Amino acid sequence: MGANPYGVAFDGISVWVVNGGSGTVTKLLASTGAVVGAYSVGSGAYGIAFDGTNIWVANSFGNTVTELLASTGAVIGTYSAGSKPAGVAFDGTNIWVADYDGNTVTELLASTGAVIGTYTVGSQPIGIAFDGTNIWVANSGSGSVTELLASSGAVVGTYSVGGSPQGVAFDGTNIWVTNSGNGVTKLLASTGAVVGTYTVGSQPNGVAFDGTDIWVANGGSNTVSKLLASTGAVVGTYSMGGVNPQGVAFDGSNIWVAGTGSNTVSKLPAF
């Protein structure tokens, strides 16, 4: 990959990896890992999401998000976001960006890139996910996750998970939040109640759901943990072949993990 890969996303055919140190995004054919191309985005590229047609990348040092056509990598546009944008999520109509330095979330219309609204959340928001109705934001500086109504941006609730929350994923019923100090926390999406907190490797960061299991990238131990989503039981812990794993994505068969410290992406069989 390029320098310091972070975010990872799957578009149905290809895997996209954001290279924060080189301001690019690399596209790989999921079936083989062959590099299709590398495309310039903005400075400090970090989070990434796919909207069904296009790829969206948050440029943390430029306070912008870049939209690329997934089929070709051509840049469609670059749009203003909040201060130091990090995580990105798509709700079916709009793009949501966690603004790390602004303690806010910015909502953009996916069809045009126009800003719809900016909403206050907790301190240093970084990870973000959509559960079908609401947006969930990991507030790394305040040990909490904030739930926003996607239709309006109104705060539904803010729930304590402790430590420094990083990544967020939805399993169809529950929200999973990695915590760089306290493992991974499972919350009931309907109420925000904490179901449990489970120990994984050192400094967990990225998280993804494969339909049955939760996968967590452990940045401090160069491993990936697999947990049974129904119980939180650790199924296994695996070497991911790279250094300082961060972003994680599922392509329907395999798990892809960005090795930020080794400038690589690793592919592991999910089942």
Question: What are the backbone dihedrals phi and psi of residue 140, each rounded to the nearest 5 degrees, phi first?
Answer: -65, -25
Contact call for residues 205 and 244 (beta carbons, < 8 A): no
Per-residue model confidence as pLDDT tens digits over 78-88: 999 999 999 99
Residue 85 token pair: 């944008």
- pLDDT of 182 higher than 80: no
Average pLDDT (117-137) is 98
CATH (residue range 5-266) = 2.130.10.10
Per-residue model confidence as pLDDT tens digits over 155-178: 999 999 989 999 999 999 999 999
Global pTM reads 0.96
Query: Domain extents for the chain?
Result: 5-266
Rg, Å, the chain Cα set: 16
Contact call for residues 250 and 8 (beta carbons, < 8 A): no
The neighbouring-strand residues paired with 50 are 55
Per-residue model confidence as pLDDT tens digits over 18-50: 999 999 999 999 999 999 999 999 999 999 999
Strands 223-228 and 234-239: antiparallel
Using CA atoms, how far apart are residues 14 and 27, in angstroms rounded to an integer? Answer: 6
- pLDDT of 125 higher than 90: yes
Concatenated DSSP letters of 131-152: -SSEEEEEETTTTEEEEEETTT
Residue 111 token pair: 């069809």
The neighbouring-strand residues paired with 27 are 16, 37
